[in-house]
Amino acid sequence: MTDGPRETMLRRLRAYRAKQFQKAVTGALYEAADKVRAEASRSITAGSVSGKKHVPSAPGQPPSNDTGTLRSNIEISQPTRDSARVTSFAPYSGVHEFGSSRHPQRPFMRPARDKVAPLARTLLILKIRKAMRKF
């Protein structure tokens, strides 16, 4: 048994809504990840001096920018439509973030994530509401 014109139209409308909803979620996740990346970069460069006058940051504080490698290696990826990932590819980013037996923690990604988390939730809600208003 085939669908009538009304059922066909409703099925297409539902598929369109699902695509628009997914597009809104994907966009909100990427935007939130970009805000985490920006906050992590900002925390690294805030108040830092590079070159001969470089002074390491205090333990527990974000690392101070010296060469710019740490800041420039923070990237965003979206492995799936339902997720976004902010990663630092600098070889020493793990030592800064989690510390080691010789180096104290100087986290920069987790504090950025924690600071942006409430905004990310709000952003997701607003994008979904905006997508729903189109119908």
Closest CA to 41 of 8, 9, 73, 5: 73
Paired tokens of 27? 């966009």
pLDDT the model gives residue 2? 67
How many CA atoms, within 13 angstroms, populate the side-chain half-sphere of residue 97?
Answer: 18
Q: What are phi and psi of 58, to 5 degrees?
A: -70, 150
Quick count: other Cβ atoms within 10 Å of Cβ 30?
14
Q: Domain extents for the chain?
A: 5-47+59-133
Containing 65, the helix (H) or strand (E) segment is none
Mean pLDDT by 10 residues, the chain (135 residues): 74 76 90 96 82 78 85 94 93 93 94 95 88 72
pLDDT the model gives residue 41? 94
Q: Is there a contact between 131 and 20 (Cβ–Cβ < 8 Å)?
A: yes
pTM: 0.81
pLDDT the model gives residue 37? 97
pLDDT the model gives residue 21? 83
pLDDT the model gives residue 64? 82
